[in-house]
Amino acid sequence: MAEIRTITDGLMFPEGPIAMPDGSVLLVEIGRGTLTRVDVDGRKDVVAEMGGGPNGAAIGPDGACYVCNNGGFKWHREAGGRMRSVAQADDYVSGRIERVDLATGKVEVLYDRCGDHLLKGPNDIVFDRQGNMWFSDLGKVRARDRDWGGVYWARPDGSEIKEVVFPFLTPNGIGLSPDEKTLYVAETETARLWAYPISGPGEVVKQSFPPMLNGGRLVSAEAGWRRFDSLAVEAWGNVCVATLMTGGISVIDPNGGEIEFVPMDDPYTTNICFGGPGLTTAFITLSWTGKLVAVDWPRAGLPLNFLNT
């Protein structure tokens, strides 16, 4: 097992970590409804009060933080402050994509719909070199039914949004290959990783039925009781997927199959990002226990666009 260093604890279901150039880590606290900065000494400062359910986050071309807000969850709470989402919040209206000015904390809603349908539960986000975002919408769960999810592309100024893949069963983690010719999407409930060749702005090449329902190329579908959450890509192309239930990071070869599994001490290991010298430190959110931890990683992470680490 890798040596796990706790940066801070007491977080309310943290996700969406971003390793910043100054050594701090931005993340969301879904259970608190905030965008929070964690300093190198573990001190926590709220950057923005967002409400709803801030989820995935990424720095955009203008230096602002763009956040997928899933609209809010109903929570099951256990002894010791541990919490997990179980359903759509009672006051839920819709999901949305929000822009946060890091200097002022001002929150602006960019998108809450695509065409004539509302966004349901935006989850994870990545920016391409052109400065446009790709994001997943996992949907919402209710007592007796759930939504189909989808994958979207949008411009950061709020001027254009496209539905890229629909329907999709619980799309979660999203990322780009180092050459940005491939879009990766992790599917939560099946623990499958899918790949799509990118053919243009907001456009991917899909396989027809059969063999695929969502049009993607199946990269990995390991056996066992596990679920996939967010992901990050290594510099040479491996895809690192935060894995629920088994609790750890699944490292997947982009050509297919799992290379290794790095265990964590939390069944809700939800997100991973890379930072530190040479991008060889993995920052990982352990959401059930409310921790941000760091692990020395054997390979460098892929630099993210618009984030000078």
Q: How many helices (H) and strands (E) does the chain have?
A: 0, 29
Which amino acid appears at position 51 of this protein? G
Residue 136 phi/psi, 5-degree rounding, is: -100, 150
Instruction: Give the whole-angstrom CA distance, residue 167 versus residue 196.
Output: 15
Q: How far apart are CA 130 and CA 89, in angstroms?
A: 35
Strand partners, 51: none
In terms of residue numbers, what domain contains 261? 5-296
CA distance 92 to 121: 10
| Domain presence at residue 302 | no
304: in domain = no
Domain membership flag for residue 303: no
Tokens of 226: 């596990």
Q: Which of 202, 191, 248 is nearest to 224 (CA)?
A: 191
Dihedral over alpha carbons 112, 90, 226, 83 (to 10 degrees): 120
**What is the total count of domains within the chain?**
1
Give the model's pLDDT for residue 308: 64
Contacts of 209 (CB under 8 A, 6+ apart): none
Cα gap 291→278, rounded to integer Å:
24
Question: Rounded to whole angstroms, how far apart are CA atoms 238 and 268?
Answer: 22
Is 307 part of any domain? no
CA-based max dimension of the chain = 52
Rounded to whole angstroms, the Cα distance separating 205 from 195 reads 10
Cross-strand bridge partners of residue 243: 228, 248
Q: What is the pLDDT of residue 81?
A: 79
In a domain? residue 306: no
CATH number of the domain within which 215 lies: 2.120.10.30
- Among 9, 96, 113, 10, residue whose Cα is nearest residue 50: 96
Q: For residue 47, is it within any domain?
A: yes
**pLDDT, one tens digit for every residue, the chain (309 residues):** 579 999 999 999 999 999 999 999 999 999 999 999 999 999 999 999 999 999 999 999 999 999 999 999 999 998 777 999 999 999 999 999 999 999 999 999 999 999 999 999 999 999 999 999 999 999 999 999 999 999 999 999 999 999 999 999 999 999 999 999 999 999 999 999 999 999 999 999 999 888 788 999 999 998 889 999 999 999 999 999 999 999 999 999 999 999 999 999 999 999 999 999 999 999 999 999 999 999 999 999 999 999 864
Taking CA atoms, 156 is separated from 47, 100, 209, in Å, by 20, 12, 33
55 inside domain: yes
Q: Is the pTM higher than 0.85?
A: yes
Residue 36 lies in a domain: yes
Which residues, 6+ apart, have CB-to-CB distance to 74 below 8 Å?
A: 85, 86, 87, 88, 89, 90
